[in-house]
Amino acid sequence: MAASLKLLPGSTVRWRGRRYLIVDYESLDAIIARQPGKRRLERIPVNEAAPDHASHIVSAWTPDLASVPEEAWQKAVKRFKILKSLLNMDGLENYGRSERLSVFLRKERSDRGARRLSNKVEKIIDAAIKKIYLTAERPDVAAVVEEVNLQCFNSKIKGKPAPNTIRARVSVLSDRLKLEKREGRKRAAEKYEPLKGHFPGADCPLAVAQIDHTPMDVIVVDEEHRQPIQRPSLTVVIDVYSRMVLGFAIYLEKPSAFTAARDRARGIA
């Protein structure tokens, strides 16, 4: 089967008989790449790039760096420092191909989060959580573990689940569900549902709209010196009856009657 051409940063391609490591995209028609171990960047047309037939032997895992926890990243840095003197050896081909520190991140298991217990054991755990944990007495999780072990013993199930497995099932319960089972639906609704009132005239969609402003959690900088200017403001127009967002705008100037009137003139409000 022919090798597929992957144009992801960190993967390798062949161009003019040589191997290149993709660094970035220039456009839909070209990529920026360099030869492994060299700094010079080349512009490679996509239609001239060919698959690197050796790259399928060891494929470097490319994680989403924005989603990598700080603790996992620090562990990767530690592994890099320990193995730094060995990076030129054949045993670390992933790094030799991509030269990125992310290859030292631990790859997540494809079956992580999947339940591997039998249906019978799962039903015992669910029943124990409802009977013991989701009650007004609010017992500790240890009581749920004891109940699960007892029911597994009574059902002659040899492989009882580990305590951490039971704790994991409890940890995913929503706070609303726990409050509802322990203090009732009314108490849960009061805490987690929005207060519903009546706004005069808002008896149907688009009858009344409200404009609200809030500063955004970002800082705008100037293009030349990258110096901070200020926080922009977000203006949102909301239909009172349906609570749907009808429009929004982002400004650097402070919200005022003038900006609200301008939004209305532009058709935002």
Q: How confident is the model at residue 84 (pLDDT cuts 50, 70, 90)?
A: low
Supply 261's token pair: 């009137």
Overall pTM > 0.85: no
Looking only at the bridges linking them, the beta strands covering 245-251 and 12-15 are unpaired
pLDDT at 1 > cutoff 80? no
8 Å CB contact between 141 and 133: yes
Mean per-residue pLDDT for 77-90?
A: 62
Which of 177-180's residues contact partners 24+ apart within 8 Å by CB, and which partners? Answer: 177/134, 178/134
Q: Token digits for 246?
A: 């009808």
Report residue 133's pLDDT band, with 50, 70 and 90 as the boundaries. very high
Cα angle, residue 181 at apex, residues 178 and 183 outer, rounded to 5°: 95
Q: Which fold does the domain 119-192 belong to in CATH?
A: Arc Repressor Mutant, subunit A (1.10.10)
Is the model's pLDDT at 182 over the cut of 60? yes
Query: What's the pLDDT tens digit per position in 20-66?
Result: 988 877 777 888 888 887 878 898 998 888 887 655 444 445 555 55
Higher pLDDT, 192 or 90: 192
Query: At residue 94, does pLDDT exceed 50?
Result: no
**For residue 107, is pLDDT > 90?**
no
Secondary structure of residue 177 in the 3-state scheme: helix
Task: Kindly state the percentage of the chain with pLDDT values over 70.
Answer: 73
Taking the domains of the chain in order of start, what are their residue ranges?
A: 12-51, 65-104, 119-192, 209-265
